[in-house]
A and B are shown apart, each in its own frame.
Chain A
Amino acid sequence: MKIVVCIKQVPDAKTVRFDPERGTLIREGIEAIINPFDLHAIEAGLGLKDVLGGEVTAMTMGPPQAQNALREALALGVDRGILLSDRAFAGADTLATTYTLAAAIRKLGPVDLVLCGKQAIDGDTAQVGPGLAVRLGIPYVTCVGELAVLEDRRTFRLKRVCDDGFDILELEIPALLTVLATLNTPRVPSLKGKMRAKKAEVTVWGKDELGLESRRVGLAGSPTQVVSTRIPSFQARREMLPGTAEEQVETLVRRLKEAGLL
């Protein structure tokens, strides 16, 4: 089975700070990690390869340093890492991102399965997976919590987790799935894997290698624009309730009544 896993390098939430004055993220000191949901997508790909054989390619779009995310994926056992990197790709919204990713996946030739995390923890949009499937002309299922391949090795039976329950679905490959963290437990990289990842060559494709028009990638190809950002003021009303447990509860009930919640 030929599998592509789309991953994203994101800031580690533990290292993220905000500048309330300017209403922006503080870039210094941020450490980059593979988007946590994407680790589960990688594991799903590797797990399927273990059973069905084939090849798993990890792909990401980002600045040159995003290749570190691909090396982590290589250390986990993916066969190949592809970095889509070009100054022209900067500032892409989800529409421009799916356009670029789709072109790159198409360049790989027919693919059986595309896997993505449910969403990236920096943007939380959950839009790239579905959009990419549309561009590739393949069916997709989001929020996959369980997955099994049937005997024909082409049909997947899936559990899609919804707000109020779950659906059991079936579809044939080629297809795209976005996965939840509950799908599996990601493996840890082996020493051998880490060594291999260090030496492995990461393919880099830019706009020209993919034959893309400038007006459809990056900022130019993005219909949405951010006009402003601000930091909401959460802590203005912070109040520690004093006294014994009884007194604390009494004050809390009063506050909740004042807020119209009781």
Chain B
Amino acid sequence: MLEVNAEKCQACGECETVCSFQAIRVENGLAVVDRDLCTLCGVCVEACPEDALQLSEAEAEGAMDPGSWRGVWVAAECRGRTLAPVSRELLGKARELAEGLEATVTAVIMGHGVAPLGRELIAYGADRVLVADHPALASFTDEPYGSVLASLAKAERPEIILAGATSMGRSYIPRVATLLETGLTADCTELAVRGEDRALLQTRPAWGGNLLATIVCPGHRPQMATVRPHVMKAMPPDPDRKGEIVQVTLKEELLRQRVRVLESVKEEAEGPNLCEAEVIVTAGRGIEKEQHLAWLLELARLLGGAVGATRAATDAGWLSHRCQIGQTGTTVSPKLYIGCGVSGAIQHIVGMQGSEIVVAINKDPEAPIFDVATYGIVGDVKKVIPLLINRIRKERES
């Protein structure tokens, strides 16, 4: 429990300013706590210049009794009015984990006009869907999304929360974990339950996939993980699956946001985005000319993939910086990566080494990209790519 020492409190309002839940406010010269909203995160305790606030130990420890938290949650993600593919994949994994734990799967969906997605979430494996539907959640911002999910988790005490390691998940999920004072593992590629203590074994790549670390969160709940797109398998949807859809009521305080969205631009030209693509055709300096990019775009289109780039190719202005793969760009792990004229500088390698199959095409047999390639072709991109396009077209026609 958060306690206010009335003698020490100077009603300065610092606690009110820092509280993300508006759970504490100064009334009649004293800080007053709204216990329904307070998550015991302790931000105000640290901020109070008078040391007037204290979290009483009994409850702080009680909140961390891992045995009393049950159920697997998936924080689903919308793209406009449709479900992000990673959310379906997470539901598939959540079902598997929940079966091992003899627990249920709950999906949480936030947004405006998202209620129709409830049925789809059930079809993909949710037993229950919590719908947080509000105009204030129409555009994604970290504060209300994080506050709503944290407050639902605080009330319902799930043992696991999974979210997509997308730009959105990687942005607001750390807020949720901090508000709940629990552990969070980013970018997981493997998840399993350890039978004896219900611990979630969370495996994630570090150093661009050169090292795989398995992480647990033994003493805190919920156990939280963001999961890379594509890694988990969605179940085939079953439209007859039964489940419960619950519209949650949202306290206004949870919807406070200090960031205004002026404009939201979707740059979806065609095909998937880099982070979610199953196939990525990457342009390196070795494609030589911007004009040669047309082949790569065509190859990506044929394979239903996206086009990526090395730093050299984006610096040359051939592709936008958002296509850049590597240490200072995006880390990708598609099923198939085709490097065209990519030499394989370590800064690039660490961003793509998690790919399942790596095809490298380069004139230079000494290029380091061949060290990480599943299949290497020493040859001229200008010759090999058009041949490959024609060959794949023929394959499709037959």
Q: Which A residues are within 8 Å of any B CB, using their own CB? A: 13-14, 16, 18, 23-25, 36-37, 93-95, 98-99, 102-103, 106, 121-127, 129-131, 133-137, 139-143, 145, 157, 161-172, 175, 181-182, 222-232, 234-235, 237-241, 245-246, 248-253, 255-257, 259, 261-262
Contacts and interface: CB of A to CB of B under 8 A. Distances in A.
Given A13-B347, A223-B219, A141 B214 contact: no
Contacts of A121: 327, 350
Highest count of chain A CB atoms <10 Å: which of B141, B273, B279:
B141
* Interface of chain B: mostly helix, strand, loop or mixed: mixed
A137 B47 contact: yes
B374 A238 contact: yes
Contacts of B264: 165, 167-168
B262 to A, nearest CB: 5
A226 B211 contact: no
Contact of A231 (B210, B220, B303, B328): B210
A59 B43 CA distance: 21
The 6 closest A-B pairs by CB, nearest first: A137-B18, A223-B183, A224-B183, A181-B328, A130-B174, A139-B258
B113 interface: no
Contacts of A232: 205, 209-210, 212
Contacts of A248: 377, 379, 384
Given A130-B175, A224-B217, A229-B214, A163 B276 contact: yes
Contacts of B267: 164-166
A165 B266 contact: yes
Contacts of B211: 18, 23-25, 229-231
A245 B387 contact: yes
B168 interface: yes
Nearest to B274: A163
18 contacts: A16-B210, A95-B182, A106-B46, A122-B207, A163-B168, A165-B267, A165-B268, A167-B263, A170-B259, A223-B181, A223-B182, A223-B220, A227-B216, A229-B214, A237-B374, A240-B375, A248-B384, A262-B303
Contacts of A252: 359, 375, 377, 388
Given A127-B184, A229-B213, A167 B329 contact: no
